[in-house]
Structure 1
């Protein structure tokens, strides 16, 4: 019986420690997210993140090897939420003017996510560098998996898209978001770019 009590207490202690580690990790990510509202990515340091999270700098490195790894994980979370939103959009397009509605709704969803836009803008230049290879590989594999699944949904929602074109459309959408950095003051610019992209695909598939 005494061994069972000790084992139970040990299990409870480990559970509390795991919960505390998870809370600390979430606090660190939240600190990075908050700083993105205040500073350009290039000015955010591990020291500033530690101060905002209320931990010593050394603690950060128990969770993230580099600043870039931390923000790559944040981008993964942002993409997860954006893809989830698009799954709903793809399943609820109006029957009429589906192409225009898709461009308009995707454009609106991007404009509502300044953190997503900002992190996509530094993905190739910063976030895929100075990061442990397993973290980069896991990010890329998950992004590819989710984009293929979402691309299939867009192919069902927009029947003129051929197999594989939904995925290609998402890749080009992210490239557009990256290329239009700093130009989102014009709310229609991305929407019109997406509409022209979809129109081009539709016309090409008619040939």
Structure 2
């Protein structure tokens, strides 16, 4: 006689609710990212995010009370993912690296990361201006943890770096990325002007410029 199949164990209601909330949160972040990539931060409206995610506008505010909070959460995800990618590249192989090799690795890790670098360039001036202290604290805590992990790998690749140097290097890379992304992310009219031959000195190749700047910075640290 065939026994009656045991009933499937269902996940606790709280766990299902948490999964649903995380899925909804991810839908909103994906919608915000798609709109940002198609337009700009200023042009994205919370109503547009809700419509793209096929949710009521009020639902967006249950998860993210302001547009800045929404995009700071998106930046948090992108920043964490970039640190993980960079760490993976820094961990490949053995032995010390040259300043040029490390600079090239950092710069190349940002290729294809325009969404991340565009948001990073707006972090202090826009995204952190309309969020709660708790939201800012959680974001900064995660940044601090990621910086610490990357700093250890940087010291392994460049033994002349002190722990303070490694942290300073990461902060300076942030500043370089922010400045160069703003210089490279220009309006269509300006882009057309820069095609003129005599405008060549004003054109910015983001990866090449960033590689050169980090190399110069590291050579200065090494020569001390």
- TM-score (structure 2 length as normaliser): 0.81
Contact 2:118 2:182 in 1 (8 A): no
- Displacement after TM superposition at 1:149 (Å): 2.2
Which residue number corresponds to residue 200 of structure 1?
Answer: 220
User: Which secondary structure state, in structure 2, belongs to the residue aligned with residue 161 of structure 1?
Assistant: coil
Superposed, 1:22-101 pairs within 5 Å as: 22-92=22-92, 95=95, 98-101=98-101
Instruction: Please give the per-residue CA displacement for 1:128-169, whole angstroms capped at 9, x wherever unaligned.
Output: 111011000111121112112211210111111112211110
- Displacement after TM superposition at 1:45 (Å): 1.3
Contact 1:68 1:126 in 2 (8 A): yes
- TM-score (structure 1 length as normaliser): 0.87
Given the superposition, is the C-alpha separation of residues 137 and 100 from structure 1 closer, same or farther in structure 2, using an over 3 Å criterion? Answer: same
Contact 1:46 1:67 in 2 (8 A): yes
Answer with 65-74 or 97-106: which moved more: 97-106
Given the superposition, is the C-alpha separation of residues 95 and 15 from structure 1 closer, same or farther in structure 2, using an over 3 Å criterion? Answer: closer
Question: 1 CA distance for matches of 2:160 and 2:93?
Answer: 14
Which residue number corresponds to residue 190 of structure 1?
Answer: 210
**Which structure 1 residue ranges, 5 or more long, are not aligned?**
1-7
**Which structure 2 residue ranges, 5 or more long, are not aligned?**
1-8, 185-203
Which residue number corresponds to residue 137 of structure 2?
Answer: 137
User: Which secondary structure state, in structure 2, belongs to the residue aligned with residue 62 of structure 1?
Assistant: helix
Question: 2 CA distance for matches of 1:155 and 1:118?
Answer: 28
Question: 2 CA distance for matches of 1:182 and 1:111?
Answer: 15
Query: Structure 1 runs of 4+ off > 6 angstroms?
Result: none
> Aligned residues, how many?
196
More helix by percentage: 1
